[in-house]
Structure 1
Amino acid sequence: MTIVVAPGTTLGALQRQPLLDPVDQRILVCHALGVTRTALITQSERVLSEEEALRITQLLQRREHGEPVAYLVGSREFFGLPFETTPAVLIPRPDTELLVELALERLPPTGRVLDLGTGSGAIAVAIAHTRPDADVSALDVSTEALAVAQRNAQRNGARVRFLHSDWFAAVAGEKFDLIVSNPPYIASGDRHLDEGDLRFEPSGALTDFADGLSALRQLVQDAPRHAHPGAWLLMEHGYDQAEAVRGLLSSAGYTEVASWQDLAGIQRVSGGRVPG
């Protein structure tokens, strides 16, 4: 049944009618009215105007049809920072914070960092914000994504060099102390691509349109030409790909090869030191 919020409904009555997931509904109502969560409680007797009821109805209906909350409100928090989020970029997820934490632990003072396939800029901006001494570069093949990433860097006061590039092309001849990436790693035809928020996210940032490992193979193969010996390569990957990624790294001569678990206990990031 299509959701409709009637003019004259009070905020209190609206909250007592969970038309969607209660958390999603609260976020969308706050966004539609430009109020805080606290205001929903303290203004429970506030009566919705026709315009307000229509704005809320439209947002709730769009969510009912599957559109991600992050796209509907235009932002998502990542690593404690606000990020603009549009359909041009993947929605930053808590799982990816593990990649940032691992990178920060391995980043030398004034080190040079390269983020490949930066999307919203979440990884690069989080690193640059936390470590202003670092020299952070971020690449993406999508000019639309780079525009979003640049705005996110400005919004969070992070110093990041953004370059339009197909993988390493724009940094030929440069060397880095740390390389990180959250590349497309979902295999073509995977059912998850047709479920949930993934249906609305840019497919080229989700899948390699192959076996899910092609981008990871390329990173493992090409990183040594762009990294100092002993530099770390850290990559996010799928829930069932850790063993395969470790195999790629070991076969290419990387040392200290390992995988690390996210908060759900899933091996989400793998990496190793570039051979010298």
Structure 2
Amino acid sequence: MIEITGALCLIVLGYIIGSIRIVEQGDQAIVQRLGQYKRILNPGLNFVIPLLDTVLVETIREQLLDIEPQRAFTKDNVPIEVDAIVSWQILDLRKAYYAVEDLEESLKQIVISTLRNEVGQLTLEESFSSASKINQALLRQLDKSTANWGVKVIRVEVQEFMISQALRDSLEKERAARSEKQAELTRTEGTVKSIQQLSAALEGQNADVLRYLVAKDYVDANRELGKSENSKIVFLDPRALNEAVTDLMGHTGVIDARNRGNIDGDIDT
């Protein structure tokens, strides 16, 4: 009799111990009885039916989903790689467990798809300056897509836009070419201003001197331009150069007339 009583006590003690489930703070648990959803266990001491109940513990803390660099194409068809970090949290464990097959993987695929779509609506230059806009668009889309999943996307942060080294070198060359072109335009503007000043200073003198100075500056400028890797060979008709100089001088005709008058006066004398 004592042996039977002891055995029963051990069975009861084992049953009690087996029925105890302690859920830690920050977690929740789903109880399934014979494969069917039964209830949610909150943090603390809980009791279940051994052998019949299955307990599935999940965190309800905020979680981070790190999206590895993804290849995307901008509106101007430039390939770039972009990565992001998504912060999310389970609000309804029952929905999160039963509404979607693989919650984290599904969330990841939506982020990647939305990220590529948003980048595709922007040019390369806009992409680098629109990270905040992309973050907001991702957050809106994820909230909409995960509304029935029992989760909340808290924030989305696009970390970095990356382009290939070949494209980076090409952009650097293009930027250098633009800088050089701007410098050439600045020099040209300086030349025009100098011509106007010389025209005023040489009024009443031989205009051939001015033409010589302009032609010399033209030749020097073309020699410098020819040294550039981005230069192109351009041939200019000397007569067109002469006409351009005449237009810039403005008063060349007047100067020539005065010079001819002075020469005639010397001959008469």
TM-score by length of 2: 0.23
Structure with the higher helix share, 1 or 2:
2
TM-score by length of 1: 0.22
Which of the pair has more CA radius of gyration?
2
